[in-house]
Structures are given as structure tokens and as C-alpha cells.
């Protein structure tokens, strides 16, 4: 996974709760991404960042927020959890000089 770490691995939330999914890489990657994976649906891009202080929406940003205050960290925030956000969340990054993404191990989130 080229050194992309995600925490937590699992989490159960109640409807309306908030939480932050953490993603960190210590290899000075500029490009970082958040995806969600739903069964039988592939991965959908939520947000991405091309460097510290720069973020942009992907295909399915509603209900999520991100920040990129440092190159290393790219946290994903859920403010008011909903059952539709039950999914597996993957963070990814691209090493300098490459064009392929390397993925973290994922966070499995259940909203009840």
C-alpha cells in the first residue's frame, strides 16, 4: 500500500453522529484521494487533493468534508452520519513521478 495508513479499521456510528476518518502518508505524496466502496458498485471518488491547502470534490461529495493542512494528512469528515454512508472507505495517494494510485487498507463504517 506504499505506506498509506488509515484509522480506524472499523467503526459503528449512530445516525446523526459525526466522525473523522484519518489518512496519512509520510512519503511526501502531493496527490491524495478518498473513495467509498459499496457492494457491487466499484469505487466512487468523494474528494481529492493535489497538495496542502488544495481540495476538490469528486463524484459523490455530499455529506462529507475534507481538509489538507499538511502534505501528510488528508482527513475525511462526516458531520451528520446517515445509513446511506455505510460503506468501506479507501484513501489513496500517488508517489511523485508516477501516475498510479496506491491504496490504504480501508475503514469499514456502519451507520445504524
Would you tell me which residues interact with other proteins (CB under 8 A)?
1, 31, 33, 40-45, 48, 50, 56, 58, 90, 92, 94, 99-106
Query: Judged by CB, which is closer to other proteins: 92, or 111?
Result: 92
Query: Judged by CB, which is closer to other proteins: 85, or 104?
Result: 104
Length of the chain: 112
Query: Judged by CB, which is closer to other proteins: 12, or 80?
Result: 12
Q: Cα–Cα distance between 61 and 47 in angstroms, integer?
A: 6
Q: Is 16 left (phi over 0), alpha (psi -120 to 50) or beta?
A: left
CB of 42 to other proteins, least distance (A): 4
CB of 50 to other proteins, least distance (A): 5
CB of 40 to other proteins, least distance (A): 6
Give the Å distances, CA to CA, from 105 to 5, 70, 89.
7, 21, 9
CB of 77 to other proteins, least distance (A): 20
Q: Cα–Cα distance between 41 and 44 in angstroms, integer?
A: 8
Query: Judged by CB, which is closer to other proteins: 14, or 41?
Result: 41
Q: Cα–Cα distance between 4 and 72 in angstroms, integer?
A: 10
Amino acid at each position: 500500500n506504499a505506506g498509506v495508513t488509515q484509522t480506524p479499521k472499523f467503526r459503528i456510528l449512530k445516525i446523526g453522529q459525526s466522525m473523522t476518518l484519518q489518512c496519512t502518508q509520510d512519503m511526501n505524496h502531493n496527490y491524495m484521494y478518498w473513495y467509498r466502496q459499496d457492494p457491487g458498485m466499484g469505487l466512487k471518488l468523494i474528494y481529492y487533493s493535489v497538495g496542502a491547502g488544495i481540495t476538490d470534490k469528486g463524484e459523490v461529495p455530499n455529506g462529507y468534508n475534507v481538509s489538507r493542512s499538511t502534505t501528510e494528512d488528508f482527513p475525511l469528515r462526516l458531520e451528520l452520519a446517515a445509513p446511506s454512508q455505510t460503506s468501506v472507505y479507501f484513501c489513496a495517494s500517488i508517489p511523485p513521478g508516477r501516475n498510479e494510485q496506491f491504496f490504504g487498507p480501508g475503514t469499514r463504517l456502519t451507520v445504524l
